[in-house]
Amino acid sequence: MGYDDVITHLGEFGPYQKRIYYLLCLPAIVCAFHKLAGVFLLAKPDFRCALPYENGSSYQLSPHLWNLSYPQGEVCAYYDVEFSEEYLNGSLPRSTNKTKSCTSYVYDQSKYLNSAVTEWDMVCSRSLLSATSDSLFMVGVLLGSFIFGQMSDKLGRKPTFFASLVLQVIFGVLAAVAPEYVSYTISRIIVGATTSGVFLVAYVIALEMVGSSYRLFAGVAMQMFFSVGFMLTAGFAYFIHDWRWLQISLTLPGLLFICYYWIIPESARWLLLKGRKDEAFVIIEKAAKENRVEIPNEIYEQLVDEVAEKKKQDELTASQPAATVFDLLRFPNLRRKTLLIFFDWFVNSGVYYGLSWNTNNLGGNQLVNFVISGGVEIPGYVLLLFTLNRWGRRSILCGTMVVAGVSLLATIFVPGDMNWLIIACAMIGKMAITASYGTIYIFSAEQFPTVVRNVGLGASSMVARVGGILAPYLKLLGEIWRPLPLIICGALSLTAGLLSLLLPETLNKPMPETIEDGENFGKKKAPQDSAELAGMLNGKSS
């Protein structure tokens, strides 16, 4: 209880914590820039094959010339004919229906001046390249959560945060000046990794310095700043039409946060865990001075005793076998809950990013769609603040995923001429899945036993990243049939929402501590089941 007592005396969310907290929220905006930039960097405008007689022509063609040049509904090939003056004016009929594949393309510049797609012709047979680039960005996010997570635990929160920030700026600029697809994609992978380092480490620092009663607010409010960054990305795209300058403009605000080095302290909680009590005491004294409170000497004495006790526990733990994800899968009830939680994470991440990156396929004004998609996240988070501690985690998780599923599946029945209704259904689904995504973090932490909680959350996050890695390919399905990505996301959300009812409620319940607690939590067990489980656990420990 040592450091928690310090927080109690400092004030759970005093002036010092508020100042540091809101400063740490601002980098979340830049992380949103990078995660959502692909919508505009890899925008695919309308296009057609460049015809043999054209030289720098505009995208527009008269219906007459279009019918003479392209098969109906085809933009990746043109008729293999001689485009003579007689043929083009209609006096000479077409002699064959054979076609030739494009060697170059003409793009519609009415919405986008250019993009990486238009510069490197990532269309037709190369259309997978754009989705693959976004997918590899999410691979970077996955790698970053491992690499920078380990760094923050071993080297400290502060150095990891600034290392991530510097790398983000460097490779963000390199992505903008990349001469070809491979170097661009590699740079974006590294930027994706740094978003984990910047956002997650800032998130951890923020939560480690506020009291328990403010942690829900602190976690949700930081996500709202991410949503603000989501919407601001469209503002940059509105004013900056060249994709390279857009990437630079979204990257350079990260330079502003370099000055945080002299403002943001190391986590006092982490310093105490590492036995660096003198450095931690300096930070605590500074916070106490700004909050105009005094910390009793006995609190410091408790912290010293806690550090010594923690070292003993670490030495004892080091001699025992480390917990692994397989511990979550050894027993039937714990295995069932773990697999359900994994599926929920996969669906939440896949649907969230699938909807976020699909705004260009919804029709209408693409920038407006994008802003609304970011804006609806805020009421989703506000819903959590008012309901999560009242209605229960399972009810909110199930309810929001079912709402998302029903609203997205409803697009099947929307007439094609009512595009506004398709957009409305998609945005309701986006708001609901945002609330669900915010719930799953807390709900999962309360389901896993303490001895394997970090392992469980790490594995869940990895499964979520798999959903994010697959999400970019949903955009390609939208080219086949516009509602198809929405229908797939809806079916997954509805299924996961209903399956969530099989998980036990955790609100106002003690969190399981041991594997045995986790197996028994939410399970109607017979007396002999407990005896068998205890025997298995004893057998493992021996």
Cα within 13 Å of Cα(75), Cβ side: 15
What single DSSP character describes residue 101?
E
Q: Region 48-52: what's the mean pLDDT?
A: 89
pLDDT digits (tens, 9 = 90+) for 464-487: 999 999 999 988 888 778 789 999
Q: Is the pLDDT of residue 530 over 70?
A: no
- Axis crossing angle, helix 215-239 with helix 419-447, rounded to the nearest 10: 150
542 — pLDDT class (breaks 50, 70, 90):
very low
Sorted by sequence, the CB contacts under 8 Å of residue 393 that are 6+ apart come out as: 439, 442, 443, 446, 505, 506, 507
What single DSSP character describes residue 200?
I
d(CA 291, CA 144): 35
d(CA 252, CA 245): 11
499 — pLDDT class (breaks 50, 70, 90):
very high
Percent of the residues in the chain that have a pLDDT greater than 70, as a whole number:
93
Secondary structure percentages of the chain, helix, strand, coil, to 5:
75, 0, 25
Sorted by sequence, the CB contacts under 8 Å of residue 25 that are 6+ apart come out as: 202, 206, 221, 222, 225
Q: Is the pLDDT of residue 12 over 80?
A: yes
Phi and psi angles of residue 112, each rounded to the nearest 5 degrees, phi first: -130, 125
Q: Is the pLDDT of residue 291 over 80?
A: yes
d(CA 394, CA 264): 36
Strand 47-49 and strand 77-79: the pairing is unpaired
Taking residue 206's Cβ as centre, other Cβ atoms within 10 Å add up to 24
pLDDT digits (tens, 9 = 90+) for 188-239: 999 999 998 899 888 888 888 888 788 888 888 999 999 999 999 999 999 9
311 — pLDDT class (breaks 50, 70, 90):
low
Per-residue tokens: 425: 């259904």
Look at residue 49 and give its three-state secondary structure: strand
Q: Region 8-34: what's the mean pLDDT?
A: 92
Q: Region 445-467: what's the mean pLDDT?
A: 83
Per-residue tokens: 158: 């502060």
Is residue 484 a contact partner of residue 422, using CB atoms and an 8 Å limit? Answer: no
Highest mean pLDDT among 31-40, 152-161, 527-536: 31-40
Is residue 29 a contact partner of residue 223, using CB atoms and an 8 Å limit? Answer: no
Per-residue tokens: 502: 């099989």
Q: Is the pLDDT of residue 172 over 80?
A: yes
Amino acid at 19: R
Is residue 433 a contact partner of residue 401, using CB atoms and an 8 Å limit? Answer: yes
CA 341 to chain centre: 17
For residues 242 and 516, which has the higher predicted lDDT (pLDDT)?
Answer: 242
d(CA 349, CA 460): 11
Least confident of 23-32, 97-106, 225-234, 514-523: 514-523
Phi and psi angles of residue 101, each rounded to the nearest 5 degrees, phi first: -75, 155
d(CA 483, CA 370): 17
The span from the first CA to the last CA of the chain, in angstroms, equals: 32
Least confident of 242-246, 381-385, 456-460: 456-460
R_g over Cα of the chain:
27
Q: Region 122-140: what's the mean pLDDT?
A: 93
Per-residue tokens: 203: 């998130």
The string of DSSP letters for 386-420 reads HHHHHH-HHHHHHHHHHHHHHHHHGGGGS-TT-HH
Contacts by 51-60 with C-beta closer than 8 Å and gap 24+?
51/78, 51/83, 52/83, 53/83, 53/88, 54/106, 57/106, 58/106, 58/109, 59/106, 59/107, 59/108, 59/109, 59/110
d(CA 362, CA 138): 23
Q: Which of 292, 358, 214 is nearest to 9 (CA)?
A: 292
Please, what is the average pLDDT of the chain? 87
The string of DSSP letters for 248-288 reads HHHHGGGGGGGGGGGTSPPPHHHHHHTT-HHHHHHHHHHHH
**b/e per residue, 56-79, with b = 16+ CB within 10 A?**
eeeeebeeeeeebbbeeeebbebb
The partner residues of 107 in beta bridges, in order of sequence, read: 47
pLDDT digits (tens, 9 = 90+) for 317-365: 655 666 677 778 888 888 999 999 999 999 999 999 999 998 888 888 8
pLDDT digits (tens, 9 = 90+) for 398-437: 999 999 999 999 999 888 788 899 999 999 999 999 999 9
531 — pLDDT class (breaks 50, 70, 90):
low
Q: Look-up: residue for tokens 């720098």? A: 56
